[in-house]
Structures are given as structure tokens and as C-alpha cells.
Structure 1
Amino acid sequence: MLADPLARRVEDRRLAGRVARVTGSTSGIGLGIARALAAAGTAIVLNAFGVPEDIAAAEEAIAGRLGAMTTHSPADLANAAAIERMVGTTAHGISRDKVVREVLPPQQPDKRFASVEEIGALVAVLAGNAAASITGASIAVDRGWTVH
């Protein structure tokens, strides 16, 4: 059996202390995103519908193999009450305050330009092996102004 390539990067914890809610995260691309964020140190709130066995397998793929704090929420993101219940979770050490602070609010643009350090950080990521499949892409480093 081949070694899990993400498990080799567990020592790379550059996102330690953060929380991410990943939708569609019990299979496919969503699970791949959740695993990559977990390998970088992020606590994960899996958000997907599914059969209990698939959810358990996704949790094992993240918590068991990568050691990340993980919880699951079946919240329907079209339902405000369901989102509030998801935010109220404290399972596996992920506090409600942390979810409210880091997962739910979209980052609003502020009135400053991206710093040279922020641009440099993106370049460092894009120059690394993790970004090998990104070619010919335009990435706005404008603190959210493009979308507003």
C-alpha cells in the first residue's frame, strides 16, 4: 500500500489554530480540500449530507490519519436555523466562538492595498510543489476588492 502523501506533510502546520468548514466534504474534491487543510493544521468542520458510514470514513481520513480536530455538521446552508445550530457545535474541541470568528463571516474588503509580504507569500505558495497543477491562472491579491 502506498503511503498517504498528506500524512508525510503533517509536520507542515502553517494553518495551525484555524478552523475551516468544508462543504461537500465527505467525498471527492470536498474531501480532498478538507484533507489538505487538515494536513496543514486546520481544524475541520465537515459539512455534507450522506450515509453515516461515509461520514465516519471521512472523519477517519482526517482525524485518524492526519490528527486534525474534526466534527461533522449536516447543516443545510440554505437554512439559517441549521447554520446557527452548526455554529453552536463544540464537538472535538472546536468552540462556537472559533467557528463564528473564523468560519462563517466572509472577509470584507478593507481600505488598504495588499502588502508586499502578502503578495510574496502567495508567490511562495505558487512556487512550491503544492501548486504544481496551477498554470496560467490570474489570482487577484487585492484584499477582496475584485468581488465587490
Structure 2
Amino acid sequence: MHIPLPQPAVGTAKILDGRVALVTGSTSGIGLGIARAFAFAGASVVINGFGKPEEINDTIEGLQKETGATAVYSAADMTKPDEIAVMVNLALETFGRLDILVNNAGIFHVGPIDQVSAEKWDAVVAINLSSAFHTIRVALPAMRRQGGGRIINIASALALVGSPLTSAYTAAKHGIIGLTKVVALETAEQNITCNAICPGNVWTPLAEAHLAEQVKTGGLPREQVIRNVLLAEQPNKRFAMVEEIGAFATFLASDAAASITGAALPIDGGWTAH
């Protein structure tokens, strides 16, 4: 597996110094990678997601020790608008502002469309799409009052193309692109940008577990499963690393990206170039 990209040393140029970021679904995987990148760049961060309390505490303490940033945790359930509002208010009450919002929380379900239950559809859409609407709705007034902000929605390559057996997820991620464009247009003159990152396959604990399951059940060599099954649609035949997503999100959150808004930006190894 590819070696993660090195992290910048604490004390180097901090392009997000003094800013406050809220990253949903950030106790592991892509969300945690983005939160770490923001913290290294000087931002204070609000972490959100599920997990065992002791593991979350370890994550927060490790993040603060590693980066020197301040981090707090919200246990908000992203299917519940009232809890989402409390989470956004936590950021504002703790730090006095909210500069960066990353909507990363998501779940995935695989199955033929006629076998997807109404409950599963509703859950996938609630977490992957509706939660982004609820966070943006609550965060925008604060961003407007303080004179600007950055909203980054984590979509997917499946926000740009279709894939069998992923009806709820693909529909929700396509919806994220539409939401991104509308928010960008409504905030275009307010120093607020809204963009969507569309990752392909990313190396996360979930991807690692899925790989192990595929190797076990399929009886194929690990590298063959990676190349011909998991990365079948990804021309570069490698997983992206969470550090790559974090670095790109940091750029989009910075002053250098002030003119980028309303965009759906793939990090997919050429998947959507087909």
C-alpha cells in the first residue's frame, strides 16, 4: 500500500491561522484527514462523528499534541437537524466564529434498487445529503456576519457518474453537487465559496476492512483484488490517501481559492475522465 504523504511540521506556514473549521464525520477516515490538515495549517477544529468515547478522546488529544491546534468534539447525530444546530452553535460559542464548514459525514449501501428498503434509502439520503443542507442553513448567517467563509462538501466520483447497486448513495451525492452550485450562486458576492470534492477510492480503515473481506471471500491475491475489483474503474490503479484529500481541502479553504466556487472537483485517478 502507498505510504501516506508527510505532514508539515508544526511551526511552518499556517495558511489557516486563526480560522475555525467544523468537519462532520471526522473521527476517522477522510474527515479526520481533513481535520488534521486544517489543524496543521493553523485552524482550530470541531470534530464530529461516532465512536467509543475513549477512542474519540485519544483522537482529540493526539490531534492537539501533534498539531498544536485546539480541537473540540460534538457528538451530533447528522440525521437530526436540532443536534446539527447545537453542533454549529458549539463552534460559535467556543471560538466566536466559524470560517470553514466541511460536510463529510456519509454512509454507503450496496444493493439492487428493488431490494433497497425505504428505511435504508432515507438513512443514506439523510446523512449524505440532508445533513449538508442543515449545516449550511445554520452556518451561513454566521459566515455572512463575519464577512466570509468556506463551505466544502465531500461528494464522490459517484456524484458525477453512475454505478450499479448504489442507487441511494449515487442519488444523494448527485444532490450534493446541485446543493453546492445553489449555495455558491447565493453567496457569490459575500466572500463565501462553496465547492464539492469528488474522491474516487480512498485508503481508509473502511477500505482496508473491505479489502480484507474481498480477499477472504473471493480467494484472490490481495493485489489482484485491489487492481481488478476495488480499483476497476480507477485508471491510475491506486488509492488516494486521506492526506491528499486534506491537502486539497486546505487549499480550497485558503485565500488562494477565493475565486473557486460552485465547482465539482474530482480526485479520482481519472475515473470520471472515461
Q: TM-score range by the shorter chain?
A: 0.5 to 0.7
Shift of 1:61: 2.2
Shift in CA distance, 31/145, structure 1 to aligned 2, threshold 3 Å: closer
Structure with a larger share of its residues in strand? 2
Which structure is larger by alpha-carbon Rg, 1 or 2?
2
What is the total number of aligned residue pairs between the two structures?
Answer: 118
Shift of 1:34: 1.0
Aligned to 1:98: 97
CA distance in 1, matches of 2:12, 2:40: 8
Aligned to 1:26: 27
Shift in CA distance, 71/49, structure 1 to aligned 2, threshold 3 Å: same
For the residue of structure 1 that corresponds to 2:184, the secondary structure is coil
Shift in CA distance, 39/89, structure 1 to aligned 2, threshold 3 Å: same
Q: Which segment is superposed worse, 11-20 or 42-51?
A: 11-20
Please provide the CA RMSD for this pair: 3.5
Aligned to 1:38: 39
CA distance in 2, matches of 1:49, 1:21: 15
Structure with a larger share of its residues in helix? 2
**Does 1:108 find its partner at 2:184?**
yes
Query: Is the CA contact (8 Å cut-off) linking 1:6 and 1:35 kept in structure 2?
Result: no
Which of 253, 261, 266 does residue 144 from structure 1 map onto? Answer: 261
CA distance in 2, matches of 1:82, 1:90: 13
Q: TM-score, normalised by structure 1?
A: 0.62
For the residue of structure 1 that corresponds to 2:9, the secondary structure is helix
Alignment of 1:43-122 (within 5 A): 43-89=44-90, 94-95=94-95, 97-99=96-98, 102-103=100-101, 104-105=139-140, 106=151, 108-109=184-185, 110=188
Shift of 1:146: 4.5
Q: Which segment is superposed worse, 67-76 or 81-90?
A: 81-90
Q: Give the letter for the 1:81 counterpart.
A: D
**1:108-136 Cα distance to aligned partner (Å, 9 max, x none):** 3326xxxxxxxxxxxxxxxxxx79x99xx
For the residue of structure 1 that corresponds to 2:22, the secondary structure is strand
Shift in CA distance, 142/65, structure 1 to aligned 2, threshold 3 Å: closer
CA distance in 1, matches of 2:263, 2:91: 34
Shift of 1:142: 5.8
Query: Is the CA contact (8 Å cut-off) linking 2:22 and 2:91 kept in structure 1?
Result: no
